[in-house]
């Protein structure tokens, strides 16, 4: 069986190549997945930017020296199985290489199956768990967009509730047009204890303000003169050092917590230099989710999480236009545009790689 993959140069994320590669048949205890569709967004650029740093995502799916395979999230069908617990033809949602096929070992679990491969053992189980997807549904495209990012929105909402209980009055959210930021702002609508300030580019200001889910919307170049009630919490999705320093210097001792969540800026740095106020701390969603599940139980947590995700997906249908992307060459073009920061906030790209 022949397959195809997209390779990215690690030192230049805009340099991509579509390559033909044989699909390895499954051994005992393994299955081969064929990707049906997956989303491409800033989360995938984040994986590439983090690839050789704190979380070596490049190691998840090995590639030739100097190049890497960007992880994606999406739906896939089992086209060959040598595991009695995973049937051929069954459909799953999970973590995949940027390409057409993926052969992996499986270990059935209560939440579907887990990938136990030693080369991916460094990844949190959150990345290695595949969820049963059932038959294709009309919402699949928006689910593919939401499921990789909405867990961060959901858990940040709970985290900010804790920060409000400790005295925070305002939350400042950068890259306010990003999917995770929008999901968070929708959840924060139901809180009356925090003023929600969304900061975005001038280009995306109309879209963000038009969503009506932020109390205040400001452009980045208006931030210096913006009145912000303190104590405040910063939720940063850009990892842009200049912006981080500007917010820290503006709020000073009034900044209660600084959370690093994403890396949407082309100038993103993994570990910013020291700056005034609290040290920025990475908000690592998988670890926070594991702690929450351990505290309240998997059944209770995932029941309320999936209800919230379904509400987000339903609302997303009104503002997120699905842009189908057919084939890997076109998908590689989309990835390059994402690296350059050119994604429209009101669109999501869903790739059919075959």
Distances (CA, A) of 25 to 80, 81, 84: 8, 9, 16
DSSP characters for 12-68?
Answer: EEEEEEEEEEEPPPP-TTEEEEEEEEEEESHHHHHHHHTTTSSS-GGGTS--STTEE
Q: How many CA atoms lie within 13 A of 280 on its CB side?
A: 27
Sequence ranges of the domains in the chain: 2-139+320-352, 150-287
3-state class (DSSP) for residue 10: coil
Q: With respect to CATH, is domain 150-287 assigned 3.30.230.70? A: no
Taking only the tens of pLDDT, the chain with its 354 residues reads 889 999 999 999 999 999 999 999 999 999 999 999 999 998 999 899 876 666 789 999 999 999 999 999 999 999 999 999 999 999 999 999 999 999 999 999 987 999 999 989 988 888 999 999 999 999 999 999 999 999 999 999 999 999 999 999 999 999 999 999 999 999 999 888 999 999 999 999 999 999 999 999 999 999 989 999 999 999 999 989 999 999 999 999 999 999 999 887 777 677 788 899 999 999 989 889 999 999 999 899 999 999 999 999 999 999 999 999 999 999 999 999 999 888 899 999 999 998
Q: With respect to CATH, is domain 2-139+320-352 assigned 3.40.50.280? A: no
The whole-angstrom separation of Cα 303 and Cα 111 is 12
């Amino acid at each position: 069986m022949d397959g195809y993959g997209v390779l990215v140069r690690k030192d230049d994320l805009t340099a991509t190549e579509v390559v033909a590669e044989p699909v390895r048949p499954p051994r005992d205890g393994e299955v081969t997945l064929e990707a049906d569709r997956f989303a491409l967004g800033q989360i995938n650029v984040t994986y590439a930017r983090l690839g050789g740093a704190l979380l070596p995502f490049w190691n998840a799916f090995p590639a030739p020296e100097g190049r890497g395979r960007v992880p994606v999230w999406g739906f896939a069908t089992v086209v060959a199985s040598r595991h009695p617990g995973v049937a051929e033809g069954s459909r799953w949602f999970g973590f995949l290489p940027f390409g057409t096929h993926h052969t992996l070992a499986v270990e059935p679990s209560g939440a579907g199956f887990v990938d136990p491969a030693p080369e991916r053992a460094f990844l949190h189980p959150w990345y290695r768990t595949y969820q049963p997807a059932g038959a294709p549904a009309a919402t699949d495209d928006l689910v593919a967009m939401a499921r990789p990012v909405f867990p961060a929105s959901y858990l940040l909402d709970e985290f900010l509730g804790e920060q409000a209980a400790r005295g925070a009055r305002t939350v400042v959210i950068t890259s306010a047009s990003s999917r995770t930021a929008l999901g968070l702002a929708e959840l924060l609508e139901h809180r009356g204890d925090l003023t929600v300030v969304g900061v975005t580019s001038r280009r995306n200001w109309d879209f963000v303000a038009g969503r009506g889910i932020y109390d205040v919307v400001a452009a980045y170049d208006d931030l210096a003169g913006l009145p912000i009630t303190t104590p405040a919490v910063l939720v940063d999705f850009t990892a842009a050092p200049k912006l981080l320093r500007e917010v820290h210097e503006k709020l000073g001792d009034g900044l209660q917590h600084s959370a690093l969540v994403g890396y949407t800026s082309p100038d993103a740095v993994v570990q910013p230099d020291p700056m005034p106020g609290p040290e920025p701390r990475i908000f690592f969603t998988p670890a926070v989710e594991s702690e929450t599940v351990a505290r309240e139980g998997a059944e209770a947590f995932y029941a309320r999480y999936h209800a919230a995700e379904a509400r987000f997906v339903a609302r997303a249908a009104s503002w997120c236009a699905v842009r189908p992307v057919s084939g890997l060459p076109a998908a590689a073009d989309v990835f390059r545009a994402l690296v350059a920061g050119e994604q429209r906030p009101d669109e999501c790209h869903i790739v059919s790689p075959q």
